[in-house]
Amino acid sequence: MDVECLQCGNCREVCPVFGVLRYEGASTRGRLLQVSPFVGWISTPESIRKNIFQCTRCLACRDVCPVPVDYPRILNMVRENILRSGKGYEKHYRIIQNRIVHRNPYGEKWNLPKVVEGEGKGGIRYFPGCTSVFRMNSVFESTIILLKRMYKKIELISDCCKVTEENESMVTSCAGCYSSFKYKGVDITHTAQIFEERMDEFDIVSFPGTITYHDPCHLGRHANLYDAPREILSQFDFVEMEHYRENSLCCGAGGGVKSAFPELALSMAKRRVKEAKDARAEFIVTPCPFCARNLRDGGGNVLDLSELLVMAMQE
Ligand code: SF4
Ligand code: SF4
């Protein structure tokens, strides 16, 4: 494969993994140099295998590349080849297996009610995603509180394969699920969008503290959704961090990094949490349970957007 990299190094400067590890092989440019001979066939030494899987797929490098090199596609291809050859990381194989057997990467048993009755009008289909149900349950519960205010009937969907087959419109509170479904052509809305449209139904009073916003890569660079959450947060005491919107800094969890390299994910999270502190924010708000979890692990005072709204509502 012809990888037409100009070696300009723009990508290296924005790569959150390079930002922590500080060696060329852990940057986009370094990875491209390593993968070009390996695309299409497998003979990957351990050091290269590690560099290939130590990328969060945050897409920051894509947006600064002048050529542009199609790095995300190249990376996916190389990762797929390594996984198919059986030389991937055990943690990633377990996730793949759990997805096939249990329909979620955690290997947990789905036990959601099919329908929840609310006090509002009409109905909605809600796909909470695995992290909010199995690891960040208050995100799920807060979202349900808000949806109950808005709708009479909330249909809960847990099977992502069924979603793609049926392709009926629905909402999700997870940034990763949102971008995955969007790539697959599903009619999907993020809860941040419907909350923003119907903020007047929540009787917001106030929230005690300065808030900053962490753009999940899957909502921002992957799906170009930046404004709706900021519209909501503009009603509170809100400040931006040094890196925001298209230029945002990844939390460090994505792309399978948190599962196979938890210490690296933690170091990236700490860097992002420090940015929030430097901006004098007391809380980081994000509409992604996976980002929220990693940023909390990194010591951040983090709220999901739904948690913030529930806390700020009049009882
Ligand atoms: S996608 Fe993100 S983590 Fe991966 S190489 Fe590009 S900037 Fe670095
Ligand atoms: S920004 Fe693009 S052209 Fe420049 S070094 Fe990175 S991949 Fe190569």
> Which residues sit with their C-beta closer than 6 Å to ligand 1?
14-17, 28, 55-61, 250
DSSP-derived 3-state class of residue 89 = coil
What one-letter code names the amino acid at 232?
I
CB–CB of 15/60 below 8 Å? yes
Per-residue pLDDT of the chain (315 residues; tens, 9 = 90+): 456 888 999 999 999 999 999 999 999 999 888 876 555 444 567 888 899 999 999 999 999 999 878 889 989 998 998 899 898 999 999 999 999 999 899 999 999 999 999 999 999 999 999 999 999 999 999 999 999 999 999 999 987 777 777 778 999 999 999 999 999 999 999 999 999 999 999 999 989 999 999 999 999 999 999 999 999 999 999 999 999 999 999 999 999 999 999 999 999 999 999 999 999 999 999 999 999 999 999 999 999 999 999 999 976
Domain layout of the chain by residue ranges: 10-88, 115-196, 202-312
Q: Which of 29, 32, 33, 64 best tests ligand 2's pocket when mutated (most atoms within 8 Å of CB)? A: 29
What's the pLDDT score for residue 119? 96
pTM passes above 0.75: yes
Q: What is the pLDDT of residue 69?
A: 86
- CA of 31 from ligand 1 middle (Å) equals 10
Give the Cβ contact number of residue 168 at 10 Å.
12
Q: What is the DSSP code (8-state) at residue 204? A: B
Domain covering 202-312 assigned CATH 3.40.50.1860 in the classification = yes
Please give the Cα distance from 18 to 146 (Å, whole number).
39
| 5 and 32 Cβ atoms separated by less than 8 Å | yes
* Amino acid of residue 162: K
Helix intervals (H) in 107-174? 130-134, 137-150, 160-166
Task: Describe the chain by its helix, strand, coil percentages, rounded to 5.
Answer: 50, 10, 40
User: Which residue, by CA, sits nearest to atom 8 of ligand 2?
Assistant: 5
